Structure 1
Amino acid sequence: MPQPIIVIDGIEPLNLTGVRQSVGPLHALLRECILDGRLAPGTVVSQVALARQLGVSRTPVREALRMLQEEGYVEGEPNQRMRVAGLDPSALDADYAMRITLECLALTMTLDGFGSRMERAAEAQLAAMRRAARAKDREGWLVAHREYHRLLTSGAGEPLRRQLEALADRSVRYIRITQQLDPESWSRAGDTEHPAILDAVIAGDRDAAVSRLAHHLERTALNVLGEQAPGYRPQAVPRAMALVGAGPSPWGRGQGQGQEAGPSGPDEGS
């Protein structure tokens, strides 16, 4: 019995030649589809059906899925199928603990060289996030959000930046979950926290910048874990917070109960 074709909205057959040349673009495409939700958590992916939809052979599809499995985006299933990985509480806990420690480290490496040009660039990304939030443009918000965090860590060396890019990619899935949990006001906390982090960076206040960034990242992790895995007790994130010396939350009680991401109503974040 023929296997059903997996239909991924917005994806057309690929014009690729040669197995070796095909794997990279296929891996990038499927990874993007997982991160942006076109391949939702729990989706079972058939190598045969996916190859048929994309107009390629099974060999590069199999290799691309193997790479995604190594990255933790898909899990093995019987009959040469893969399932898009769902939320793993321990993985989220570990990913955000790594982001807290490594991103705070990279931030301290950026502070001394953070001049007026970078300040203007960061301010531009904050403005782009506010515009996207008012328009409820989640994709535009995510692009500006990623660039804002990249600017804050741009003083780190390339190996560290690569690790941060990989962690940021995985974090996108969790940010999308937080947006779905609170669709009416998914940027309110970020509208406050992102500018506050930048203020500390501009002032050269290392301790305040690290504390604000760490608590900003912690909040997303704890919010998603609390909603999606209420029985899970975080292990890595609290230790990471202690390791970077984040101290008490600068946002006060009740402030950090939102998400790292998302558009608010028209009057939010202006």
Structure 2
Amino acid sequence: MTIAQTRDTMIAAADAGGRGESVNRAYDQLRELIVHGRLAPGTRIIESDIADRLGISRTPTRSALHRLQQEGYVAIVERTKERRLAVAPLTQSDAMELFQIVGQLEGMAARAAAERPEVDRIDLVARLRVLNDELSSAGKATPAEPSRLFDLDTAFHRVYVEAGAGPRLLALHDAIKPQAERYARLYVNSLVEEIATSVAEHETINQSIEAGEPDAAGQAVENNWRNAARRLSRVIGTHGERGSW
């Protein structure tokens, strides 16, 4: 390879790397907007508007939107002869499916966490109980802060997931969990009164990991997510789905 060919190859690789970084940045920013509700369910997605909002070109924006569509954050809406892209709605059926998947993934992680050496489990459960106690106290506060409740609950689950999940399981979890978080963030105000129930279910998880009982730990996590899905389904039934078309 000549010097000129080497230079051209390096330039092409740098350009490709730059495009990849732009796509990843656009994806991260868009997913954050959707998960936090700043792009509300059902909102029409116009590629040029999104590119202007993010301050990037349309090409990486288009690639990021395609990736978000594959992951279920945005969807094609067909109305008569018009097809448009929009932020995916929040529905009871979708919530039930997402929470079941997350429960299965986190259940696998909890089983692995319960198989760790006793000294590791003691430290793990101590951290879990600190978070669960904080969640309990936050739930009793007047008025309660929904965002703090969400953050504490998320942190609790993350601790045992990171303790038990291998890299592949963690990657799967990180890909799907934010989709479930959309529901928790947008409906958390209506779930405050259920915090005591969640805290009790968390303690069952703690006890199972502490005792080194993998099956019980996995089942406790799956039950927690199954019950959370039912609680959320009732709330959606009362307050309505968001962004349905």
Does TM-score exceed 0.5, indicating one fold? yes
Pair 132,58 (structure 1): closer, same or farther in 2 beyond 3 Å:
farther
Structure 2: how far apart are the matches of 1:201 and 1:22? Answer: 42
Q: Greater helix percent: which structure? A: 2
Structure 1: how far apart are the matches of 2:50 and 2:103? Answer: 36
Larger RCO (CA within 8 A; separation ≥ 6):
2
Contact kept, 8 Å, 2:146 with 2:189, in 1: the verdict is no
Q: 1:62-141 maps to which residues of 2 (within 5 A)?
A: 62-77=62-77, 81-113=84-116, 114-133=120-139, 134=141, 136-141=144-149
Instruction: Find the structure with the greater CA-based Rg.
Output: 2
Aligned residues: 213
Pair 29,131 (structure 1): closer, same or farther in 2 beyond 3 Å:
farther
Equivalent residue in structure 2 for 1:157, among 144, 161, 166: 166
CA-atom RMSD in angstroms: 2.7
- What is the CA deviation profile of residues 49-93 of structure 1, one whole-angstrom value per residue up to 9, with x for unaligned ones? 222222222222111111111110001257885211012444333
2:65 counterpart letter in structure 1: L
Does 165-174 or 207-216 show the bigger shift? Answer: 207-216
Partner of 1:200: 208
Contact kept, 8 Å, 1:177 with 1:224, in 2: the verdict is no
Partner of 1:261: none
Pair 88,51 (structure 1): closer, same or farther in 2 beyond 3 Å:
same
Q: Unaligned regions of 5+ residues in structure 2, if any?
A: 1-16, 239-245
- What is the CA deviation profile of residues 179-228 of structure 1, one whole-angstrom value per residue up to 9, with x for unaligned ones? 24345x25232122212321222123445433332221111212333443
Contact kept, 8 Å, 2:136 with 2:196, in 1: the verdict is no
2:157 counterpart letter in structure 1: H
Structure 2: how far apart are the matches of 1:182 and 1:156? Answer: 28
Structure 1: how far apart are the matches of 2:43 and 2:186? Answer: 16
- SS of the residue corresponding to residue 115 of structure 1 reads helix
Partner of 1:145: 153
Partner of 1:44: 44
Structure 2: how far apart are the matches of 1:187 and 1:130? Answer: 7
Contact kept, 8 Å, 1:45 with 1:82, in 2: the verdict is yes
Q: 1:221-240 maps to which residues of 2 (within 5 A)?
A: 221-228=229-236
| 2:179 is equivalent to residue 170 of structure 1 | yes
2:121 counterpart letter in structure 1: G
Identity of aligned residues (%): 27
Contact kept, 8 Å, 2:111 with 2:215, in 1: the verdict is no
- What is the CA deviation profile of residues 216-247 of structure 1, one whole-angstrom value per residue up to 9, with x for unaligned ones? 111121233344369xxxxxxxxxxxxxxxxx
- SS of the residue corresponding to residue 187 of structure 1 reads helix
Structure 1: how far apart are the matches of 2:121 and 2:18? Answer: 47
Pair 201,18 (structure 1): closer, same or farther in 2 beyond 3 Å:
closer
